[in-house]
Structure 1
């Protein structure tokens, strides 16, 4: 069975390949993803897969570069930098063609080689300002 850190390396590879189907295979059936800047957590593979597909359609050139990865027991933490170009609809908003660069961090609880819980932190104001969306 893979360690939490190995699972996170697989997650980064699938994310950078913009492959939602490879990405969802890394999650438990009842996994929770809480992106704090966006409110309520998402739960379950079906909902998570839909969110990954929507994100990759909106930002087809999205990339994430790990800056630090830390592992402690069943937890793995990533500090990252990334970016992309807003080229597809996102949450009912039409694409603006604007690019972004951003930094953030994520916490992943990995149990039995799969992600059970994920929490991410980004600066929504910085991101939305760069891609031309109103911040609410």
Structure 2
């Protein structure tokens, strides 16, 4: 499966909040680094991250663009509340080995009525 196809299917699983299906897209030792947070390493830890996030906020990914360059796919997205972001996915043999996401954490917390941590 090409990187663009992997990310397209990943978005469908994300929007269904299907943690088991999401985990299947990652290599065993994958890294997911949402830059507003610390990197998460390993498929099991990534699954826990998704489970915790889905429990704390309603998240929907509306695809604006998916680009592909070699082993990389780039996702531009928005959500129904107006948040926007992008993600970079390094795909090796049909699996996500590395993911990095950029989005505004303060806006996310405010839009979802979540507490803003003290600095």
TM-score (norm 2): 0.92
Let me know the Cα RMSD of the aligned residues: 1.3
What are the residue-to-residue correspondences of 1:47-126 with 2, within 5 Å? 47-59=45-57, 61-83=58-80, 100-126=81-107
User: What is the number of residues matched between the two proteins?
Assistant: 117
TM-score (norm 1): 0.81
Radius of gyration: which is bigger? 1
* 1:46 corresponds to which of 35, 44, 47: 44
Structure 2: gaps (5+ residues): none
Higher mean C-alpha deviation, range 27-36 or range 49-58? 49-58
Deviations 1:91-116 (A, max 9, x none): xxxxxxxxx43100000000010000
Higher mean C-alpha deviation, range 108-117 or range 126-135? 126-135
Deviations 1:59-88 (A, max 9, x none): 3x42110001100000000000014xxxxx
| Structure 2 counterpart of 1:92 | none
Deviations 1:33-60 (A, max 9, x none): 000011x21000110010111111223x
In structure 2, distance between residues paired with 1:45 and 1:103:
25
What is the DSSP-based 3-state SS (H/G/I as helix, E as strand, rest coil) of the residue aligned with 1:71? Answer: strand
What is the DSSP-based 3-state SS (H/G/I as helix, E as strand, rest coil) of the residue aligned with 1:13? Answer: helix
Q: Which runs of 4+ in 1 moved over 3 A?
A: none
